[in-house]
Structure 1
């Protein structure tokens, strides 16, 4: 019974964050559980490779190329939503998983993490609310630089705001707090899957802190 609550057969999922890291791990987990997956990123070649892998394993998957995440482009984000609708239909699951690490300066880090998350929520969540169902998972990075930590705190607050705003419309929104480490990518991905699944059907405005205090040492 508990295992069945992790099954996502036929559900349409959007994964924003590119074809690597947590976003790629989440895409694979979703595909394994029968979801129809739209993977969104800027690297067309790597995106095609991931989509081919998912399809080879029997999953329905599409890749949508955009620079909207990196450049905080509202029009590009809306175009992504329309592409998903055209390719797969109305999404029920939304994963916003960009992971800036403070390597591009303050503005670029904030744009590619916090502003991109805001634009994704703005583009997708109202439609989920209209349909009366949906689950959103965001990724809040914890780093050693001010910009990354500002993004993490902002993403957490923003996600909680949307959780409260749309709670009565059947949409849940939760956060995975994570320090970007290759060794814990799968941990973050499994946490994201759990929060989106029926196993967490009564959870919203919650933050799962992957790796606990270790991430802050």
Structure 2
């Protein structure tokens, strides 16, 4: 299929973390381009509403991506209802901020479990189908994958992890016809980011980033770029595009970040935020239940 306008028509796509934000916007773009979409997440009402609104056949599953047994069952149900999966977008993610010393380790662990372990489980349960369809797996990473920031140790560790995970999968799966892509995103106008701005620690963190890095991008803009990458089976996508240049300069980032942190972030006392946003609270509720 060489005509990109029709690459996704009739295909089945899976999106995790699909209830809101980037996940929901990507699901809409996939459906607008003709794909049937399997929506996976923790907010059942939002998922059901989105599935109803999409123009193609779509279903939703209320499931935690860290539950390997339930995710395996979901993969079977997606195949039975929508057909073999051709695209997986591993988007589910949560975040928290604050000094590591004052962080609740249960929340810290939950970030790693959702962002990194959840991505690995998603890949494992859907890869048999992607092998059959010679499909495409897109891992949502972050600027935090390229350069770690103080006060966000769990998020940065998890996103560095998913970058390495997807890069390890790429050469492993390429000979078998499955393409793997890594998406590097900056601040995006999601409910999680808007919640982050309510906390002094994260406001300060963003305020001391270079001007281009402080900009917040609309979810629709990000989703268009991501689904364009899906159609191209791209090995990497950067939103915004200047992040590619940061990738080139990443060796010098730790020193630069340390200098800025010593000068700017030691002026105030900060406390941990807990998991951010409605999605974070859903993940926390799932953990404690």
The answer as to whether partners of 1:64 and 1:83 remain within 8 angstroms in 2 is no
Q: Secondary structure at the match of 1:19?
A: coil
Q: Does 1:115 align with 2:117?
A: yes
Partner of 2:177: 170
Partner of 2:107: 105
Q: Secondary structure at the match of 1:92?
A: strand
Distance 2:35 2:133 in 1: 19
TM value normalised by structure 2: 0.65
1:1-217 map, 5 Å: 4-7=3-6, 8-54=8-54, 58-67=55-64, 69=65, 72-102=66-96, 105-129=107-131, 131-143=132-144, 144=149, 145-182=152-189, 183-184=216-217, 185-197=219-231, 200-201=232-233, 203=234, 206-211=235-240, 212-213=242-243
Q: Secondary structure at the match of 2:29?
A: helix
The answer as to whether partners of 2:84 and 2:133 remain within 8 angstroms in 1 is no
Q: Secondary structure at the match of 1:166?
A: helix
Distance 1:122 1:6 in 2: 29
Q: 1:147 Cα deviation (Å)?
A: 1.1
Q: Secondary structure at the match of 2:92?
A: coil
Between 94-103 and 21-30, the greater mean CA deviation after superposition = 94-103
List alignment gaps of at least 5 residues for structure 2.
Answer: 98-105, 190-215, 247-252, 258-289
Q: 1:187 Cα deviation (Å)?
A: 3.2
Deviations 1:180-202 (A, max 9, x none): 420422233123212211xx24x
The answer as to whether partners of 1:166 and 1:172 remain within 8 angstroms in 2 is yes
Cα root mean square deviation, aligned? 2.3
Distance 2:143 2:111 in 1: 13
Q: 1:9 Cα deviation (Å)?
A: 0.9
Distance 1:124 1:175 in 2: 17
Distance 2:11 2:175 in 1: 21
Q: Secondary structure at the match of 1:63?
A: strand
Q: Secondary structure at the match of 1:99?
A: coil
Deviations 1:144-175 (A, max 9, x none): 41111111111111111111111011100101
Distance 1:132 1:34 in 2: 17
Distance 1:12 1:5 in 2: 16
Distance 1:90 1:59 in 2: 16
Distance 1:196 1:24 in 2: 15
User: Larger Cα Rg: Structure 1 or Structure 2?
Assistant: 2
